[in-house]
């Protein structure tokens, strides 16, 4: 049994205590969010919005208490003076002070009034998005989204930024990320992906069979398949559960209670499987965090980009590999004999790796997926910088989709309304998906060096060597190391997009 994070330093001990109390309030808030998206009755929304606003205000008041600021300042001074003295602070101590300071600095710039208003606006926005998405009525979402956008602009202005207002929001999800850095990484990547796409569109002439889509797959069977896959890759159902929601997500109430959800579509087994593996990757990260930091600000993924590297590694680098389907095809044949009884692993592999521009991001192939992300980041950056209006979003979206993917969504539900993120105020989140692809490829390159027969393990259904490697190198550390520090610690170099490009070129040559 790993002992919890303890210290003989009274100031660190007090900061740890405060961090734990804040973590508990955040966990209670997340529990209300989970319930809202899974089991809350429709009429509960008015009370839920108020409850979330109250908890958010309590969290904000506790975090901005002068004691927290004084304690952080004192510890920063002590850590600075400790160099060369008898008093020492380890990486965990330093990281706790760093993360608490990061949260405190941001919170003290944002008034409690804004915190309450954002909680109310996003709770209302989520319900409006659900209706707009279901009924293909963008007009239902215009006013709630405008309210959220106004509040996020106010937040960015209060937090501060050097060049672009968008920078003030990017940093929330990926520490120290700027729009300039996004441009430096994404522009060359976009060009390489477009080259690959053009090449494949002229050479890829064999259409795959529709095996995981287009047939009727019973809900209970799909849930059983997803549960089996989650269990096999290491997800602990004694520390989590699987439920259904309008949009798949993973949520953490503590590193021994991490839950996943999925979205059921009767004619789309493939989407259900890949969503399960994707969310499972997120959950494994949270479940793998060291017990020593399990009730503190360090008990979370170090950034959303690193988090996405874990989900997308399981979903794509593992889940779309031929060895993966050599293992799982017999199981699917047994569970769905009428639909998949005569299917081969090679046929499924071809289907799940077919490159074809489509409307839906979460169903996109590995080539076009990042073009979907670039559309979204360009739009939300322009929204935050007031270059476009909310009412014009469908037209802007469709124009960019046609220019980038060569297709125009026939409905807003298949276009601008497809993602939940903006309804939750998650503006600045989308770039982390592509960063996740880049991190994942670089981590995978190192993992293959350390585990040369990794694909043999996958083909035999033994996923534990992969999980053990990820836990030791990434999961265990939680937020102790910043993203760039962690990447260098694990791979020996800074983030390098070449590993992702090389992976795609090898796969689609």
Question: Is residue 156 over pLDDT 70?
Answer: yes
The pLDDT score that the predictor gives to residue 252 is 94
Average pLDDT of span 418-445 = 97
User: Which is more confident, 209 or 438?
Assistant: 438
Question: Is residue 15 over pLDDT 80?
Answer: yes
Q: Does the active-site annotation cover 493?
A: no
- Span 45-59, pLDDT tens digits: 989 999 999 999 999
Structure tokens at 262: 């999925």
The pLDDT score that the predictor gives to residue 1 is 40
Question: Is residue 318 over pLDDT 90?
Answer: yes
Angstrom distance (rounded) from CA 78 to CA 225: 53
- 458 and 318 in contact (C-beta within 8 Å)? yes
Which are the contacts of 169, defined by CB distance < 8 A and separation ≥ 6? Answer: 152, 155, 156, 384, 427, 428
Question: Is residue 505 over pLDDT 90?
Answer: yes
Using DSSP bridges, classify how beta strands 258-262 and 250-252 pair: parallel, antiparallel or unpaired: antiparallel
Q: Which of 37, 127, 172, 279 is catalytic?
A: 279
The pLDDT score that the predictor gives to residue 205 is 62
Stretch (H or E) spanning 121: helix 112-135
Question: Is residue 3 over pLDDT 70?
Answer: no
Structure tokens at 171: 């940093």
Structure tokens at 25: 């309030």
Average pLDDT of span 313-327 = 98
Number of neighbours of residue 3 by Cβ within 10 angstroms: 7
**Multiple choice CATH, 1-109, 1.10.1040, 1.10.3470, 1.20.58, 2.20.230:** 1.20.58
Average pLDDT of span 29-33 = 96
Question: Is residue 266 over pLDDT 70?
Answer: yes
Three-class secondary structure of residue 261 per DSSP: strand
- Span 64-121, pLDDT tens digits: 999 999 999 999 999 988 765 556 899 999 999 999 999 999 999 999 999 999 999 9
The pLDDT score that the predictor gives to residue 222 is 98
Q: Report how far apart, in Å, the C-alpha atoms of 275 and of each of 254, 264, 371, 461 are.
A: 22, 10, 19, 19
DSSP-assigned states of every residue in 321-370: SHHHHHHHHHHHHHH-HHHHTT--HHHHHHHHT-----S-GGG--TTTHH
Q: Strand (E) positions, 171-305?
A: 242-244, 250-252, 258-262
* The length of the chain, given as a count of residues: 509
DSSP-assigned states of every residue in 276-338: HHHHHHHHHHHHTS-GGGTTSTTSS-S-HHHHHHHHHIIIIIITTSHHHHHHHHHHHHHH-HH
| Three state DSSP letters for 63-120 | HCCHHHHHHHHHHHHHHHHHCCCCCCCCHHHHHHHHHHHHHHHHHHHCCHHHHHHHHH
Angstrom distance (rounded) from CA 256 to CA 335: 30
Question: Is residue 188 over pLDDT 70?
Answer: yes
R_g of the chain computed on alpha carbons: 23
Phi, psi of 4 (to 5 degrees): -70, 160
Q: Report how far apart, in Å, the C-alpha atoms of 376 and of each of 172, 190, 341 are.
A: 17, 13, 39
The pLDDT score that the predictor gives to residue 2 is 45
The pLDDT score that the predictor gives to residue 362 is 86
Residue 84 CA to its chain's centroid (Å): 40
Structure tokens at 448: 């293959």
Taking the CA atoms of residue 481, residue 487, residue 491 and residue 494 in that order, the dihedral angle to the nearest 10 degrees is -130
Among candidates 80, 38, 75, 35, which has minimal Cα distance to 55? Answer: 35
The pLDDT score that the predictor gives to residue 289 is 96
The pLDDT score that the predictor gives to residue 391 is 98
Angstrom distance (rounded) from CA 139 to CA 149: 16
DSSP-assigned states of every residue in 156-211: HHHH--SS-TTHHHHHHHSTT--HHHHHHHHHHHHHHHHHHHHHHHHH---PPP-S
pTM value is: 0.92
Angstrom distance (rounded) from CA 186 to CA 435: 9
Phi, psi of 206 (to 5 degrees): -95, 115
**Across all residues in the chain, what is the average pLDDT?**
94
**Beta-ladder partners of 268:** 213
- 214 and 265 in contact (C-beta within 8 Å)? no
Edge-to-edge strand list for the sheet holding 242-244? 242-244, 258-262, 250-252
């Amino acid at each position: 049994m790993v002992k919890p994070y303890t210290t003989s330093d009274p100031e660190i001990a007090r900061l740890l205590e405060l961090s734990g109390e804040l973590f508990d309030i955040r966990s209670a808030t997340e529990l209300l969010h989970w319930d809202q998206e899974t089991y809350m009755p429709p009429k509960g929304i008015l009370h839920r919005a108020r409850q979330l606003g109250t908890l958010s205000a309590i969290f904000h008041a506790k975090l901005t208490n002068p004691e927290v600021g004084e304690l952080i300042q004192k510890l920063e001074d002590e850590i600075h003076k400790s160099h060369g003295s008898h008093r020492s602070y380890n990486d965990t101590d330093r990281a706790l002070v760093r993360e608490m300071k990061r949260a405190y600095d941001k919170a003290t710039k944002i008034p409690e009034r804004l915190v309450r208003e954002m909680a109310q606006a996003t709770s209302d926005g989520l319900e409006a998005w659900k209706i707009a998405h279901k009924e293909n009525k963008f007009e239902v979402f215009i006013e709630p989204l405008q309210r959220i956008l106004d509040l996020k602009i106010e937040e960015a202005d209060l937090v501060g930024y050097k060049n672009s207002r968008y920078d003030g929001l990017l940093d929330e999800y990926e520490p120290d990320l700027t729009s300039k850095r996004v441009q430096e990484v994404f522009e060359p990547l976009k060009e390489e992906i477009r080259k690959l796409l053009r090449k494949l569109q002229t050479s890829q002439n064999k259409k795959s069979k529709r095996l995981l889509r287009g047939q009727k797959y019973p809900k209970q069977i799909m849930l059983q398949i997803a549960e089996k896959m989650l269990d096999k890759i290491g997800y602990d159902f004694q520390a989590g559960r699987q439920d259904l929601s309008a949009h798949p997500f993973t949520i953490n109430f503590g590193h021994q209670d991490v839950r996943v959800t999925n979205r059921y579509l009767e004619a789309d087994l493939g989407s259900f499987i890949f969503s399960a593996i994707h969310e499972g990757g997120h959950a494994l990260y949270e479940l793998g965090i060291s017990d020593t930091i399990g009730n503190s600000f360090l008990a979370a993924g170090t950034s959303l980009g690193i988090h996405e590297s874990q989900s997308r590694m399981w979903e794509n680098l593992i889940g779309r590999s031929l060895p993966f389907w050599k293992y799982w095809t017999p199981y699917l044949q047994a569970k769905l004999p009428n639909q998949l009884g005569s299917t081969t692993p090679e046929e499924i592999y071809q289907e799940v790796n077919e490159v074809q521009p489509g409307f839906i991001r979460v169903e996109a192939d590995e080539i076009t997926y990042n073009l979907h992300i670039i559309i979204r980041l360009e739009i939300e950056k322009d929204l935050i910088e007031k270059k476009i209006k909310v009412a014009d979003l469908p037209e802007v979206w469709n124009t960019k989709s046609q220019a980038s993917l060569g297709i125009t969504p026939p409905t807003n539900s298949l276009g601008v309304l497809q993602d939940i993120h903006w309804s939750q105020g998650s503006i600045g989140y989308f770039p982390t998906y592509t960063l996740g692809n880049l991190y994942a490829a670089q981590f995978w390159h190192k993992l293959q060096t350390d585990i040369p027969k990794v694909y043999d393990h996958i083909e035999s259904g033994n996923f534990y060597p992969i999980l053990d490697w990820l836990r030791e190198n990434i999961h265990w550390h939680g937020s102790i190391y910043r993203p760039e520090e962690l990447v260098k610690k694990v791979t020996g170099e800074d983030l390098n997009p070449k590993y992702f490009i090389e992976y795609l070129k090898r796969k689609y040559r």
